[in-house]
Structure 1
Amino acid sequence: MTAVTFAQPGADANDGVAFELAEFIRDAANNAPRSLQTTLGPSEAGTPCDRRMAYKLAGWQQPNGGGDPLASVIGTGFHTWAAEAFSRPELGGRFLVEQHLTIAPPLIPGGHCDLYDTFYDRVLDWKCVGQYSYDKYRKEGPREQYRIQAHTYGLGWELAGRHPREVGLVIVPRQSARLSDIWVWTEPYDRQVAVDAIQRVATVNQLVSVLDPHHHPEAFGLIPAKPGHECTYCPYYRPGSKDLGDGCPGDLPPTT
């Protein structure tokens, strides 16, 4: 009997089966409901860049796909698993999972909150992150954008009749194989954090209305940008762009 030798049909994601499967994954990620969302969500209410927010509020085309989607796909998979795990009947309904919250329509219509712990009136949001972000958050605390997101969800729960006392982010490191590496940040719920964020969105939206970028795309230049290395993940980032209607150049600081 002759032994069958296994031959890999494609060495990497640039060839063969690996390439084809990667393209299916990319297409599914790019067409997921969250990727196609046209309104501002709670996770974007605290984006530090006014220009990025303005592009989104204007419904602008997105020249930058944001890079490889695998990290977000893995995060989505974890969210799906966690939603099932915390919805088990034996938990007695303690956790409210993936509930849709109305926040501040039409500017921020609402969003789905990952978890609400009814025992402690605690709002929780999962964040699956890489090692760099994990180490940075543990050392410096979470990004202000995520902090604002948590309080915005808190406002949504308050408007839904709950009495949130605390908001938190559950930081899950993608590279780790240990539950002991999960890190949780919490602070008391503060309605004003969410109110200030909503007011900022309203101010940027008013600016977009006055500047009318659909007829004057160069007017995006009058809206301040906050350039940084996060620009590479911005859907409106277009390196070297001279026409803000085509995208924002980002003005990235030099690397050292």
Structure 2
Amino acid sequence: MSAADVLAVLNGAPSAPQSNDGTYRGLREEPALWPEIREIIETNIATAPRSLQREVGPSELGTDCLRCLGAKLAGWTQHKGAAWLPFVGTCVHQRFEKTFDSLNKQGFDPDMKHRRFETEKRVTVGSIHGLAGGYDVHGSIDLYDREHACTADWKIVGSTTLKTVKAHGPSQTYLCQASLYGIGLEREGEQVEHMCIYFLPRNGLSLADALPVQMRFDPKPGLWALTRAQLMVTFMDLIEQSDGTDVRDAWIRSLPKSTGHCFDCGTWTPDHMNAIPELAGPAAGIPERWTKLTPLVEARYPQHNETENTEQ
């Protein structure tokens, strides 16, 4: 503290604010360790089971982006960097999993049906079949409250999504996902009466900014999403059997994009094509008989008129 600061204090005046800029500049080094630390983190994110998943899941079936849905159903390779924001959400999910598991009565009974809360419950919501085979569609419910017969899904979202949900309700994607989870539970003989989606503020200071949404369980949105996916697979099989994979892929690329913002558009490449656009061959033409199939695939759930938002 300088002599001027001492005199200012004695005279009752506040001293000037102190800064650590000088100390910081004197100690600062190049962040040489950061590249390795970042690579470790991003590799961990990119190699997580969810990031490597190739089969479509409940969180994707309800999308209004037909192009991305077709690419996923066709098994195209997705080229995305390490997704930081979804990883933040995953960390929150893992902490909540421990929190609600600890609220169950502890004991040695392996029968989960005696417990109120079941976290990350794995369910089969349906199946999709094609000429090349088929698979069951699986998903994990964030929380199932057996006492109140309801599912709960945590959505860690930004302010834009919070505003949109408050104005228009949950997006079609979220609605179909919640419906599919209920379908999966009913297939196991569980009771489902309510679907809850809890929109938690990623940038808020407290849960006072959260937006809880509760709805009656309705299987119709989930069944619509499953039926639409099966229809698309059938169409893609017809095109491939008649004119080959190049024409099938061209049809997928011609499908309508989301009317909102889709983070996945532009990240897909068919496995048999070069990922570098400059090295790819000319795009295959699409016979008119196949373009007539496109309007038969609905982008929007008929009873859902709200604005879609796909913010991550």
TM-score, L = length of structure 1: 0.82
Q: Show the 5 A alignment for 1:142-221.
A: 142-212=170-240, 214-216=245-247, 217-221=249-253
Q: Does the 8 Å contact 2:65/2:262 carry over to 1?
A: no
Identity of paired residues, percent? 26
Matched residue of 2:77: which SS?
coil
Q: Does the 8 Å contact 1:103/1:156 carry over to 2?
A: yes
Aligned counterparts of 1:99 and 1:107: Cα–Cα separation in 2: 19
| Number of equivalences | 234
Aligned-pair CA distance for 1:221: 4.1
Q: Does the 8 Å contact 1:52/1:225 carry over to 2?
A: no
Q: Show the 5 A alignment for 1:122-137.
A: 122-137=150-165
The unaligned stretches of length 5 or more in structure 2 are 1-22, 107-114, 128-133, 270-274, 285-312
Q: Output the amino acid matched with 1:197.
A: A
CA, structure 1 residues 79+8, in 2 after alignment: closer, same or farther (shift >3 Å)? farther
1:121 corresponds in structure 2 to 149
The unaligned stretches of length 5 or more in structure 1 are 11-15, 246-256
Match of 1:94 among 116, 119, 127: 116
Q: What's the CA shift string for 1:215-248, capped at 9, x where partnerless?
A: 43323245x222445233343289x999679xxx
Matched residue of 1:198: which SS?
helix
Matched, 1:79 2:93: yes
Q: Output the amino acid matched with 2:264.
A: Y
Q: Does the 8 Å contact 1:40/1:108 carry over to 2?
A: no
Aligned counterparts of 2:70 and 2:63: Cα–Cα separation in 1: 11
Aligned-pair CA distance for 1:83: 0.4
Aligned counterparts of 1:170 and 1:89: Cα–Cα separation in 2: 19
Matched, 1:232 2:248: no
Task: Indicate the larger mover: 48-57 or 209-218.
Answer: 209-218
Aligned counterparts of 2:206 and 2:149: Cα–Cα separation in 1: 27
Q: Does the 8 Å contact 1:39/1:108 carry over to 2?
A: no
> Considering only aligned residues, what root-mean-square deviation do their CA atoms show, in Å?
2.7
Aligned counterparts of 1:112 and 1:152: Cα–Cα separation in 2: 11
Say which one has the larger Rg.
2
Aligned-pair CA distance for 1:91: 5.7
Q: Could you list the structure 1 runs, at least 4 aligned residues long, displaced by more than 4 angstroms after superposition.
A: 89-92, 240-245
CA, structure 1 residues 228+8, in 2 after alignment: closer, same or farther (shift >3 Å)? farther
Q: What's the CA shift string for 1:128-147, capped at 9, x where partnerless?
A: 01122122222221111111
